[in-house]
Amino acid sequence: MSTFADVIVPVPLPGTFTYEIPPEKERFVQTGHRVLVPFGSKQYMGIAMRIHHIPPQGVQVKMITEVVDESPSILLSQLNFWQWIASYYMCPLGDVLKAALPSGLKTETRRRAQKLQEVHTQTEFQLNTAQQKAFDLINSSFQEKNVCLLHGVTSSGKTEIYIHLIQQTIQQGKQVLYLLPEIALTTQITTRLKNIFGNHLGVYHSKFTEAQRVAVWQKQLSDDPFNVILGVRSSIFLPFTHIGLVIIDEEHESSYKQQDPAPRYHARSAAIMLANMYNAKVLLGTATPSIETYHNAITGKYGLVELTRRYKDIQLPTVQIVDTKDLTRRKLMEGPFSPLLLSKMRQAIDKGEQVILFQNRRGFAPFIECHTCGWVPKCLNCDVSLTYHKQHNQLTCHYCGFTYPVPAQCPACENNDLQSRGFGTERIEDYILQYFPQAKVSRMDLDTTKTRKAYEKLINDFASGQTNILIGTQMVSKGLDFDNVSVVGIINADSMLNYPDFRSHERAYHLMAQVAGRAGRKNKQGLVVLQTKNPDLPIIHQVVENDYEQLYNDQLAERQLFLYPPFCHLIYIYLKHKKESVADEAAQLLSTQLRQTFGNNILGPDKPTVGRVQTLFIRKIIIKVKLSSSIYKISEYLQTLQQQLLANKGFSALTIYYDVDPQ
Ligand code: ADP
Ligand code: ZN
Ligand code: ZN
């Protein structure tokens, strides 16, 4: 009797593929073993999922080429978790495999034991009264509920509370997974934890070398795994055997959602699911909870613990609003700066204090325009205008990354009258160098932080006072702990507010509150200058008053009225094709079918804001799923519709994918 293995193969096709196990290897292959298998004309590293004796019908079964592992590289619990991801986020298991395994394990390396350096253990801080109380409340909440939200203002010492919870969990003989957004996982936090947990701590980061990542994976499979994993989104895929606590810091961060490629999973939801599988507890921490999480806490699904004071009672900063529309009319703006912001910056610099300027656009100018005829250069592959980058003197598409030379004259009217429009961080830096020629200025955005080293140097230089002014995109808002920042300038709140998405105000609040939280952390109260053309918008006042409750109430009422999460689930369906007519026709067909089932809860098809990316035309359909419906059933139904649609003549080259719980 032959033995077969159903194998997950890293290809974007649904399901597993059955292979015969060579008779001499039969006794060695188990679920979770890596096996080399032929697929099409290639060999792939797959994972054996199920071992059985049922020959597949109507196909010629191929043989496994090689059994790579001596013992399983993937645990059964991990495979269950992968299956959940694939079915909930509607993507092939092969895509989950690709996201989960470090590349080092996708090649034939045999597993090797890891060498560890001895690290000395320094002591942790005592919790103050408020922190101790929060710690106790979290513990009692865990008696009843699996998930608890720690809502604590910036600098209230949430990290200290995490540290105490981690210690408690380790003492119970269980493991801890501590998740941070990519950008917040700096040497600052790593060092702090290494000092306390020494060799018990493993760090897992996407910028680590393959060898480092594989070493962590293997250590987790060994008899002596790390007790604590500090990691980014993808560390939910590591092998755990006895996890007891998951901490998700900055839980509101939209970067916990993987956008591209599939699996488009939300690490917060997935980690809660993971914890569930192990009967573990989850602590969500943030100063600005996501509306969904806060809703779950308020309605009693999650526990809720609040810390309203900063450690040592340092006051939250004062926020002053500046009406830039009025100042522009009165011709009082100096480039992107109000006189107030400039004078406050000058005072701070004169006193040896530091300044952070926040502008959520990178590059020099968001676009350039012909002053004579209005021509704007656009990307040839995508439906967007190009951003001017002065340093390289080129135009860049922020969607596909393509770069173009700056034309000497307007190709439409042949005049030499091309002008920069708007302000990116690079241009803000230019202005600052003119106004403050003595100051040491640095800029933190995607362009200046291509490597982790560059990013950490920017942070360290600012933390040690070598830089006076830090200009940056949302990167400057992420969990940085500086002592000497007295002024924070929000150059333009409007670009965040005008973004066409139901979450734009929530997100703008998060960003502004977080960046404001960088002001006056240790010694004294700081000042935030908030520049906007819409000083009367409620959200601006919510930022000024630090009134999260009001933001939540307003946003929740709006979402209830227009039916958005947390009152439903959203599924976005994307259809892409080289020909616009094909994308359009397919989207029309699909949405007509969907309307028969979901009625008015189907929106679209629409052309997204950027209607073409990398030469493919895009159509988008939105499904608003009732909370009582099962995403898994809908997932099956959509798969069927998709197969029918792709069977249509002319549609075979169509790309269809789903974004479940989009961010
Ligand atoms: P949060 O995570 O809430 O923003 P942190 O945990 O980073 O706050 O704490 C802010 C600062 O206060 C840090 O520099 C931290 O070392 C210090 N701090 C917080 N709690 C304590 C404590 N109990 N003892 C000593 N220092 C503390
Ligand atoms: Zn022109
Ligand atoms: Zn492009």
Which of the residue ranges 151-160, 197-206, 312-321, 583-592 has the most confident prediction, judged by mean pLDDT? 583-592
Assign residue 65 the CATH number of its domain. 3.40.1440.60
**Residue partners of 492: CB distance under 8 A and separation at least 6:** 324, 336, 359, 360, 423, 531, 532
Q: Residue 528 is inside which H or E element, if any?
A: strand 527-532
| 37 domain-assigned | yes
Instruction: Report yes or no: 237 and 263 within 8 Å, Cβ to Cβ.
Output: no
| 408 domain-assigned | no
Ligand 2 is an ion; residues with CB less than 5 A from it: 370, 372-373, 375, 410, 412-413
Instruction: Inform me whether the pLDDT recorded for 439 exceeds 90.
Output: yes
In the beta sheet, which residues pair with residue 529? Answer: 320, 489
Which residue has a Cα nearest atom 21 of ligand 1?
A: 157
Mean pLDDT score of the chain, rounded to an integer?
93
Residue 31, domain extent: 4-105
Burial class (CB in 10 A: 0-12, 13-18, 19+), 335: middle
Which residue has a Cα nearest atom 14 of ligand 1?
A: 481
Query: Is 521 in the same domain as 592?
Result: no
Cβ of 420 closer than 6 Å to ligand 1, yes or no, is no
Cβ of 645 closer than 6 Å to ligand 1, yes or no, is no
pLDDT at 311: 82
Instruction: Inform me whether the pLDDT recorded for 188 exceeds 90.
Output: no
- Return d(Cα 473, Cα 449) in angstroms, integer: 11
pLDDT digits (tens, 9 = 90+) for 619-656: 999 999 999 999 999 999 999 999 999 999 999 899 99
pLDDT at 315: 82
Q: Name the percent of the chain lying above pLDDT 90.
A: 85
Query: Is 451 in the same domain as 514?
Result: yes
Assign residue 601 the CATH number of its domain. 3.30.70.600
Q: Which of 499, 525, 556 lies at the terminal end of a domain, its last residue?
A: 556
- For 438-462, what is the mean pLDDT? 93
- For 498-506, what is the mean pLDDT? 91
Query: Is 506 in the same domain as 633?
Result: no
| 552 domain-assigned | yes
Query: Is 149 in the same domain as 229?
Result: yes
pLDDT at 113: 41
Q: How far is the CA of 369 from the centre of ligand 2 (A)?
A: 8
Assign residue 230 the CATH number of its domain. 3.40.50.300
pLDDT digits (tens, 9 = 90+) for 100-142: 999 889 875 554 444 444 334 486 689 999 999 999 999 999 9
Query: Residues, the chain, total?
Result: 663
Instruction: Inform me whether the pLDDT recorded for 555 exceeds 70.
Output: yes
The per-residue b/e assignment along 342-352, b for 16 or more CB within 10 angstroms, e otherwise, is bebbeebbeee
Q: How far is the CA of 540 from the centre of ligand 3 (A)?
A: 33
pLDDT digits (tens, 9 = 90+) for 64-77: 999 999 999 999 99
Cβ of 127 closer than 6 Å to ligand 1, yes or no, is yes
- For 79-85, what is the mean pLDDT? 97
Q: Which of 510, 531, 556 lies at the terminal end of a domain, its last residue?
A: 556
- Ligand 1 nearest-atom number relative to CA 127: 23
Which residue has a Cα nearest atom 25 of ligand 1?
A: 125
- For 246-262, what is the mean pLDDT? 96
In the beta sheet, which residues pair with residue 624? Answer: 570
| 540 domain-assigned | yes
Cβ of 306 closer than 6 Å to ligand 1, yes or no, is no
Query: Is 147 in the same domain as 229?
Result: yes
User: Quick one: pLDDT band at residue 523, thresholds 50, 70, 90?
Assistant: low
pLDDT at 159: 94
Cβ of 158 closer than 6 Å to ligand 1, yes or no, is yes
Token pair, residue 359, equals 């502008």
Q: What share of the chain is helix, strand, coil (3-state, %, to 5)?
A: 35, 25, 40
User: Quick one: pLDDT band at residue 521, thresholds 50, 70, 90?
Assistant: low
Angle made by CA atoms 541, 546, 548, in degrees to the nearest 5? 95
Which residue has a Cα nearest atom 27 of ligand 1?
A: 157
Query: Is 549 in the same domain as 585?
Result: no
Which residue has a Cα nearest atom 15 of ligand 1?
A: 157
pLDDT at 101: 93
Instruction: Inform me whether the pLDDT recorded for 330 exceeds 50.
Output: yes
Instruction: Inform me whether the pLDDT recorded for 409 exceeds 70.
Output: yes
Query: Is 345 in the same domain as 429?
Result: yes
pLDDT at 112: 46
Cβ of 128 closer than 6 Å to ligand 1, yes or no, is yes
pLDDT at 442: 97
Q: Which of 521, 556, 591 lies at the terminal end of a domain, its last residue?
A: 556
Instruction: Inform me whether the pLDDT recorded for 493 exceeds 70.
Output: yes
Coil, helix or strand at residue 129: helix
| 376 domain-assigned | no
Query: Is 482 in the same domain as 615?
Result: no
Number of domain units in the chain = 4
| 411 domain-assigned | no
pLDDT at 104: 85
| 99 domain-assigned | yes
pLDDT at 524: 80
pLDDT at 310: 84
| Best CA proximity match to 516, nearest among 249, 182, 154, 150 | 154
- Return d(Cα 558, Cα 502) in angstroms, integer: 9
Query: Is 228 in the same domain as 336?
Result: no
Query: Is 59 in the same domain as 189?
Result: no
Query: Is 176 in the same domain as 308?
Result: yes
Cβ of 605 closer than 6 Å to ligand 1, yes or no, is no
Cβ of 154 closer than 6 Å to ligand 1, yes or no, is yes
pLDDT at 123: 62
Instruction: Report yes or no: 340 and 380 within 8 Å, Cβ to Cβ.
Output: no
- For 533-546, what is the mean pLDDT? 96
Cβ of 20 closer than 6 Å to ligand 1, yes or no, is no
Query: Is 284 in the same domain as 320?
Result: no
- Return d(Cα 637, Cα 629) in angstroms, integer: 12
| 391 domain-assigned | no
- Return d(Cα 2, Cα 21) in angstroms, integer: 8
- Ligand 1 nearest-atom number relative to CA 152: 3
Query: Which of the ligands is closest to the CA of residue 612?
Result: 3
